[in-house]
């Protein structure tokens, strides 16, 4: 996805590299490990139960020079889902989020792809495409941003519009990097890319995921970072390839709770 390049990439790259070394193996285990339910766990916070329709999800175009993806509701192998077709294109399907990460820090979802992108490369701008991605936009309190960051964000929003977040986490289905890889986006250090699934072994079927957003956001951007928007998409504008993906059952749960309907 083409985004403006913000200063400070070196700092976050060093931090993300250290995180990747620590979490390269642990990330896959933590993401897949089943939770132990407790009677006191709060109820799931549902954000994408698509049997109820799309509202309040809406399409967001970050660059009006890019072709748009195609999003549609469908029943897909018995799952109420959003289907995404991406062909040399990039746009998001997004909705606002208000969630108490202290109570429900873990994001659950299921997704599927037809196949990984052949030419994608997370490490380069030319390869910054993904067969599927879940995008969590974060707000950073103004008092903690500092003058340099505020200036960077004003410049970015002047170029790309108000949809540019203070920071973001991207959970991606990559084609080559190991699960658990964490690196700054090739275009901006305000977005941390997290490889949640990689390769084609699980292609062609629904798979469940869970990720501790509170932990990821705190380590990457500080403990005050809070989700304000959730988006889903496939991304093919850089490589010129095509992707076909699906998303369903997005919700937040407590660390002690399993995903609702998940394994």
pLDDT digits (tens, 9 = 90+) for 1-49: 544 444 443 444 444 444 443 333 334 333 444 454 445 789 999 999 9
User: Where are the strands (E) in 44-125, listed by range?
Assistant: 45-48, 58-60, 70-76, 79-87, 92-96, 106-113
Residue 256 has pLDDT above 70, yes or no: yes
Alpha helix segments (H runs only) across 24-102? 26-32
Question: What percentage of the chain reaches a pLDDT higher than 90?
Answer: 66
Q: Of 5, 18, 103, 50, give the one whose Cα is nearest residue 248.
A: 50
Query: What span, in angstroms and rounded, lies between the C-alpha atoms of 190 and 70?
Result: 27
* Region of poorest pLDDT, from 27-36, 70-79, 137-146: 27-36
How confident is residue 195, by pLDDT bands cut at 50, 70 and 90?
Answer: very high
How confident is residue 255, by pLDDT bands cut at 50, 70 and 90?
Answer: very high
* Region of poorest pLDDT, from 141-150, 203-212, 215-224: 141-150
How confident is residue 162, by pLDDT bands cut at 50, 70 and 90?
Answer: low
Helix (H, G, I), strand (E, B) or coil at 203: coil
In CATH, what is the architecture of 9-34+44-253? Sandwich (2.60)
How confident is residue 262, by pLDDT bands cut at 50, 70 and 90?
Answer: confident
Residue 118 has pLDDT above 80, yes or no: yes
Residue 175 token pair: 């084609």
More confident residue, 55 or 151: 55
Residue 216 has pLDDT above 70, yes or no: yes
Q: Whole-number mean pLDDT of the chain?
A: 83
Q: Residue 144: what pLDDT? A: 59
Q: What are the counts of helices (DSSP H) followed by strands (DSSP E) for the chain?
A: 4, 13
Residues in the chain: 263
Q: Residue 218: what pLDDT? A: 95
Q: Residue 14: what pLDDT? A: 45
């Amino acid at each position: 996805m083409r985004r403006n390049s913000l200063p400070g990439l070196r700092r976050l790259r060093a931090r993300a590299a250290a995180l990747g070394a620590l979490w390269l193996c642990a990330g896959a285990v933590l993401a897949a490990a089943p939770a132990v339910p407790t009677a006191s766990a709060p109820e799931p916070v549902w954000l994408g139960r698509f049997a109820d329709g799309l509202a309040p999800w809406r399409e967001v175009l970050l660059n009006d020079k890019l072709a748009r993806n195609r999003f549609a509701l469908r029943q897909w192998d018995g799952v109420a889902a959003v289907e995404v077709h991406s062909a040399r294109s990039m746009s998001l399907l997004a909705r606002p989020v208000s969630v108490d990460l202290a109570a429900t820090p873990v994001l659950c979802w299921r997704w599927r792809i037809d196949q990984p992108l052949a030419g994608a490369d997370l490490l380069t701008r030319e390869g910054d495409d993904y067969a599927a991605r879940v995008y969590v936009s974060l707000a950073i309190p103004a008092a903690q941003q500092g003058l340099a960051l505020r200036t960077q964000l004003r410049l970015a929003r002047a170029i790309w519009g108000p949809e540019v977040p203070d920071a973001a986490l991207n959970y991606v289905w990559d084609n080559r990097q190991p699960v658990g890889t964490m690196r700054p986006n090739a275009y901006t250090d305000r977005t941390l890319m997290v490889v949640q699934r990689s390769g084609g072994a699980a292609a062609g079927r629904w798979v469940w995921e869970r990720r501790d957003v509170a932990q990821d956001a705190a380590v990457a951007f500080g403990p005050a970072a809070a989700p304000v928007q959730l988006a889903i998409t496939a991304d093919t504008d850089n490589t010129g390839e095509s992707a076909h993906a699906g998303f369903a059952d997005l919700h937040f749960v407590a660390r002690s709770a399993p995903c609702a309907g998940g394994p």
